[in-house]
Structure 1
Amino acid sequence: MKSVTLSLLQSAANAFDFGGPVLCDAHHYGEGHINDTFVVWREDHSKRFILQRINTDTFTNPVGLMENVCGVTRHLRAKILAEGGDPARETLNVIPTLSGSTCYLDADGGAWRAYDFVEDTICLQQVGSETDFRTVAETLGKFQNQLADYPASTLHETIARFHDTPNRYANFEKALAADALGRAKNITSEIEFIHAREQDCHVLLDQLAAGEIPLRVTHNDTKINNVLIDAATGKGICVIDLDTVMPGLSAYDFGDSIRTGANDCAEDEPDQSKVHFDLHLYEVFAKGYLSTAGASMSMAEKKSLAWGARLMTLECGIRFLTDYLEGDHYFHIARPDHNLDRARTQFTLVRQMEEVFDQMLEIVCPDNH
């Protein structure tokens, strides 16, 4: 995609109904790596907004994506109002274009959208305390619960087969067979690790196919920085970055949060002796999540959460190792073997989860596993 100039940004901003002219700042806002995010102000500085250029290399159907976002936020707004909440703060509010569209397509084919800025919030980049982690869990669980009656099958799949673990396994096998860079000989133990868990890759989708667990509206990117926390109360109030909201399983969202939050190591830690899965943090998150989402979940679905932690971590490791075999073209690397280190860290976490899996099941589904 072309770089964003001030004139391109201003012309995009002029397409939206901000209630008057706005001032643009061409400096990127926030920590996101996929979309281009900016803040624009009304000329009198009475209100500010988020203006984003959607990455159409990653999200090839921006109109469908925005249909998802508008449908889901409309549903959330009704639930928040019924609960006596404040929909201006507790969900994203899409600003339409002057012609009434949900997004603006520029002359270069770029797709833009705008939201109200949610003021007086904190966006954490990492877990600072157990309280933070529980707050994120409660907020994501509430998001899940509020969308429990949304018809998930009506949503567009914004990234095809994103958490289809058997398909990720198949892609790994293709990369291994091709061995384009001759790297397979250096990773025999990692290859064996994946091959030994081929059947695990099918567990969740088999449960869905059998009707044991429901299709859900899921966020699919439940990092801690996708929850806004109220600066005054410390409570989680709003789930953001809804680009990957699509049909999925609650185990995906739960599992990805555990993968990224229930350990004290960097995702690319080269020293595997420093990698530790923290069962206590898993329990903190599980209790917070189930306190808000549990009412709409069956026993089988609660059990699936523990599998979600294992499989989202395994799947991520498989993706890193696939990229390593293919020449590091998907995940940005800062050093040779960066993706191999990332994969090894995920596999260490999986191994440690397997050792305490009975306890993980007990935590999410006491006395019923």
Structure 2
Amino acid sequence: MEQAVYAFRVEGKPVTCERYGFGHINKTYRIVTSWGNMYELQKINRHVFTNVSNLMENIGNVTRYAAQRVRHPMEALCLVPTVDGKDWFEDEDGNCWRMYHHIENSICFQRPASTTDFYESAKAFGSFQEMMAGFPAEKLHETIPDFHNTPVRYRQFHKALEEDKLGRAQGVQKEIDFFLTRESGAGLLVDLLAEGKLPLLVTHNDTMLNNVLFDRTSRKAVCVVDLDTVMPGLSAYDFGDSIRFGANLAAEDEVDASKAGLDLEMYQAYLRGYLETCPSLTAQELKRLPDGARLMTLECGLRFLTDYLQGDPYFATTRPGQNLDRCRTQMGLVQDMENQWDAMAAAL
């Protein structure tokens, strides 16, 4: 790790290096130099991102494009180059590292404390979408192929169900039936994309509240972070994943799934912020935002169930049955979205 600390062009000499943040994929460290400057050093998880070159090419291109379009440098992440001018560094053990400039007086939240927090996050992700509108999405690499391709996720589910390696399927028939009855409409968004009715855009693909930095004093959104999953995609993906995460009445791993449901006030607040800062959406994109919310929730629940059937190899757990609980909260949210569908559509 010491090799990585000194591999980047920082102002001053690194004097402290401490673990920082709550990320589950990459490890982040706060670097402070003798000049008082702060930086975030990240060790990239090569098990998740096997092609680091493509990953960092995406991030480098997107951050440089964004830097030309923001009003203030703090509104976009900025990579620190290595001493030889590259965007990332590979040490002698094969570990890959990158570094960002620290964004002063910023904080991130794990859950919205109010509709205002959620509205602010929507403005941040809407601004990111609008800012990247001119970037040719087809030039980005798919760092995780078929990430939001719901029919592909269903094929993976069927494979896990057929193999049933741990014999868990017999205990979750209700959950299995829930997803099977909704399979026929799961390809709506990818079909509209294939038909040319929805535009391919640069999308973030991990639009959770904790991927927005807020000003510590004003609680205004400052910057979107965690660009590892920036890929070609649909506006409905980003909008939908935010609703799935932030507008559920229950925590993602709540053991009592009856608590899950759509907080319509949160949904409306997010929609308002997103549309305020992303006015370039087409009529068809706007129409499909509620579909994005429902399908991203359905897809995520399906992934949790698939992972449970496979023995929890992908989503980290801290207790038995946690992925099944996660699946059930997504099911509850999907069901409530279907119950409130007219209100969701009317909010547009």
Residues 172-231 of structure 1: per-residue CA shift (max 9 Å, x gap): 000111111111111111111111111221000001011111111011111111111122
Which AA in structure 2 matches 1:118? I
| Aligned twin of 2:282 | 298
For residues 238-295 of structure 1, the C-alpha deviation after alignment (integer angstroms, 9 at most, x for no partner) is 10111111111111111111001102211111212222211121111111101111x2
Matches within 5 A, 1:220-369: 220-293=205-278, 295-364=279-348
CA distance in 2, matches of 1:158, 1:265: 30
User: Using the alignment, how far apart are the partners of 1:165 and 1:18 within structure 2?
Assistant: 42
**Equivalences for 1:1-369 in 2 at 5 Å?**
8=1, 10-25=2-17, 27-45=18-36, 47-80=37-70, 85-87=71-73, 89-293=74-278, 295-364=279-348
CA distance in 2, matches of 1:248, 1:175: 26
Say whether the 8 Å CA contact 2:9–2:81 is kept in structure 1: yes
- CA RMSD, Structure 1 to Structure 2 (Å): 1.1
Shift of 1:79: 1.2
Distance 1:334 1:100 in 2: 41
Find the aligned partners of 2:63 and 2:256 in 1 and give their Cα distance: 42
SS in 2 for 1:296: coil
Structure-2 separation of matches of 1:270 and 1:232: 35
Secondary structure in structure 1 of the residue aligned to 2:266: helix
Once residues 298 and 77 of structure 1 are traced to their aligned partners in structure 2, the CA distance between those partners, rounded to angstroms, is 25
CA contact (8 A) 2:200 2:234 kept: yes
Question: In structure 2, what residue type is equivalent to 1:31?
Answer: F
Q: Secondary structure at the match of 2:232?
A: strand
Amino acid at match of 2:72: D
CA distance in 1 between counterparts of 2:141 and 2:16 reads 32
Match of 1:4 in 2: none
- The gaps in structure 1 that reach 5 residues or longer are 1-7, 365-369
1:323 deviation in Å? 0.9
Q: Which moved more, 1:322-331 or 1:170-179?
A: 322-331
Shift of 1:119: 0.5
Could you say what secondary structure the match of 2:207 adopts? coil
Deviation at 1:71, TM superposition (A): 0.9
- Letter aligned with residue 185 of structure 1: Q
For residues 227 and 137 of structure 2, what CA distance do their matches in structure 1 show?
14
Q: Which runs of 5+ in 2 are unaligned?
A: none
Partner of 1:243, secondary structure, is coil
Q: State how far apart, in whole Å, the 2-side matches of 1:188 and 1:286 are.
A: 35
SS at match of 2:288: helix
Aligned residues, how many?
Answer: 348
Mapped contact 2:261–2:337 kept (Cα < 8 A)? no
Q: Work out the CA distance in 1 between the residues paired with 2:172 and 2:90.
A: 45
TM-score by length of 2: 0.97
The Cα shift of 1:335 comes to 2.3
CA contact (8 A) 2:16 2:33 kept: no
Q: CA deviation at 1:232?
A: 3.4
Q: Indicate if the aligned counterparts of 2:12 and 2:35 stay in contact, CA closer than 8 A.
A: no
Higher alpha-carbon deviation: 282-291 or 232-241: 232-241
Deviation at 1:11, TM superposition (A): 1.2
The offset of 1:75, in angstroms, is 1.3
Deviations 1:44-67 (A, max 9, x none): 32x111111111111111121111
Question: Which residue in 2 is equivalent to 1:3?
Answer: none
